Structure 1
Amino acid sequence: MTKKKGEFTVLRNIRAGMVIILLIYIGLIFQSKGDSDTPFADVQKAVVDAADDKNMTLAGTQEIKRFYGINPKDYEDITLYYTNETMGVNELLLVKTKDENEAEAVEKAAEQRKKTQLDNFEGYGAEQVKLLDASIIKTKGTYVLFVISPKAETVEKAFTKSLK
Structure 2
Amino acid sequence: MKKLQLFLMATILGGLLLAGCSKGTSEPELVEPKVTANEMIEEMLAEVEQPMLMELPADQVLAIYNIDPEKLEDYAIRIPMMNIKTNEIAILKVKDTADIPEVEEAVKQRAENVKKTFETYLPDQYENAKNYQLITKGNYVLFVISEDADKLIKVYDRFFTQQ
TM-score interval, normalised by the smaller of the two chains:
0.7 to 0.9
Higher helix proportion: 1
| Partner residue in 2 for 1:142 | 139
| Partner residue in 1 for 2:11 | none
Q: CA RMSD in A?
A: 2.8
Alignment of 1:14-163 (within 5 A): 32=29, 34-41=30-37, 42-53=39-50, 55-163=52-160
Helix, strand or coil: the match of 2:79?
strand
| Partner residue in 1 for 2:6 | none
The percent of aligned pairs where both chains have the same amino acid is 23
Question: In structure 2, what is the Cα distance between the partners aligned to 1:72 and 1:91?
Answer: 18
Question: In structure 2, what is the Cα distance between the partners aligned to 1:104 and 1:38?
Answer: 24
Residues 76-97 of structure 1: per-residue CA shift (max 9 Å, x gap): 1011111112222111110111
Q: How many residues align?
A: 145
Distance 1:45 1:55, change over 3 A: closer
Distance 1:91 1:152, change over 3 A: same
Contact 1:67 1:113 in 2 (8 A): yes
Residues 95-117 of structure 1: per-residue CA shift (max 9 Å, x gap): 11123322222211110011111
Distance 1:48 1:65, change over 3 A: farther
Letter in 2 for 1:36: E
Question: In structure 1, what is the Cα distance between the partners aligned to 2:45 and 2:70?
Answer: 21
Contact 1:51 1:151 in 2 (8 A): yes
Q: CA deviation at 1:142?
A: 1.0
Contact 2:78 2:89 in 1 (8 A): yes
Distance 1:100 1:51, change over 3 A: farther
TM-score by length of structure 2 reads 0.73
Structure 1: gaps spanning 5 or more residues:
1-12
Q: CA deviation at 1:40?
A: 2.4
Distance 1:147 1:50, change over 3 A: farther
Letter in 2 for 1:65: L
Letter in 1 for 2:134: I
Contact 1:40 1:96 in 2 (8 A): no
